[in-house]
Amino acid sequence: MSTIPKESIVTITGGTGSFGSTMVRHLISQDIQEIRIFSRDENKQDSLRNQLKDERVKFFIGDVRDKQSVDSVIRGSDYVFHAAALKQVPSCEFFPMQANLTNVIGSSNVIDSAFSFEVKSIVCLSTDKAVYPINAMGMTKALMEKVAYSYARSFPNSRTKIAVTRYGNVMMSRGSVIPLFLNQLINGEPLTITNPHMTRFLMSLQDSVELVNYAFTNSNSGELFVRKAPGCSVGTLVQALIEIVKPKISPKIISIGVRHGEKEFESLLASEERARSFDEKEYFRVPLDTRSLDYHSYFDRGQPVSDNGNSYTSSNTRQLDVQETVELISNLPEYISTKGK
């Protein structure tokens, strides 16, 4: 759990999203002085404000693309969780420059403000799609990571500590595939799947919060953290959801083919990163590459090669069968809360 000191001021960019709103609820259970929600969607802010009804939660309208609005919310903050991003793969494929403006330039604005105002710690949220990226969303999130590492490398004596976390698909989050499949099953519609052999990591919102807390608590500046997660194939996921919903009529399953920028499996660690990583039971920690621009010494002697050089992917992680997937999804608080609707 988080060890943020009492009376701290915490800012969450993208604070009305799936992760952000979950983190807010986690923080208000603690003795936090103030939680600042920074986002550009006033409707989501109003909805979350009415749900929480907590005077410690302050709402700021703004956009990470606008440095002035970023400065205004981060000034005076002790801790920052940077979750604001364009996350939908198809939309980023069609509008890559918009993804760049939010995910790269916007992230740079947030990180620069955090270092300028000497916040104690900032954790930046990334994605499995940043590993060997083939789509604009993954490419821009990979560049966001590089910006974070560059600040840690350039300001080793800064009072601000920065860390990066990566996680895979968050089950039941907005825009994810599980709510789509559930709605199709409940409404008696055909299930539209991409490829039944594709594999994906399965993480809960609580897992993502615990990962960020772990990075906040344990990181040295510039480190990357990954939480180990099980995986399953799309076909297994579909069969599990059919068993959960138990529709009266067996649904028709239509394969629509691979969408823009999708992979057969996802990676949370590249082989090069895993070779440098430390296995910490439920997590991988990857230290900052502190090499300078002076590469002269590497002409004569490079880095040693590790035997632990396999990528960490949704295909070589622990695979869940149908019943294990049923149990995992059925016990999600986010799923349980939808059953009466």
Name, in order, each residue with C-beta under 8 angstroms of 20's C-beta and a sequence gap of 6 or more. 12, 13, 14, 37, 39, 81, 83
pLDDT at 297: 66
| Predicted model pTM | 0.91
**CA distances to 10, 31, 33, 38, 285 from 73, in Å:** 10, 20, 15, 7, 30
pLDDT in tens, the chain (341 residues): 457 888 899 999 999 998 899 999 999 988 899 999 999 999 999 999 999 999 999 999 999 999 999 999 999 999 999 999 999 888 999 999 999 999 999 999 999 999 999 999 999 999 999 999 999 999 999 999 999 999 999 999 999 999 999 998 888 877 678 988 999 999 999 999 988 999 999 999 899 999 999 999 999 999 999 999 999 999 999 999 999 999 988 899 988 877 767 788 999 999 999 999 999 999 999 999 987 777 676 666 666 555 556 899 999 999 999 999 999 999 988 887 776 55
pLDDT at 156: 94
Query: Three-state secondary structure along the chain?
Result: CCCCCCCCEEEEECCCCHHHHHHHHHHCCCCCCEEEEEECCHHHHHHHHHHHCCCCEEEEECCCCCHHHHHHHHCCCCEEEECCCCCCHHHHHHCHHHHHHHHHHHHHHHHHHHHHCCCCEEEEEEEHHHCCCCCHHHHHHHHHHHHHHHHHHHCCCCCCEEEEEEECCECCCCCCHHHHHHHHHHCCCCEEECCCCCEEECECHHHHHHHHHHHHHHCCCCEEEEECCCEEEHHHHHHHHHHHHCCCCCCCEEECCCCCCCCCCCEEECHHHHHHCEEECCEEEECCCCCCCCCHHHHHCCCCCCCCCCCEECCCCCECCHHHHHHHHHCCHHHHCCCCC
pLDDT at 292: 78
Pairing of strands 161-167, 223-227: parallel
List, by residue number, the catalytic residues: 129
**CA distances to 15, 127, 168, 270, 315 from 267, in Å:** 26, 9, 8, 7, 9
As a whole number of angstroms, the distance between CA 86 and CA 48 comes to: 20
Distance of CA 282 to the CA centre of its chain: 17
**Residue-range domains of the chain with CATH:** 9-168+204-228+267-300 (3.40.50.720)
As a whole number of angstroms, the distance between CA 121 and CA 119 comes to: 6
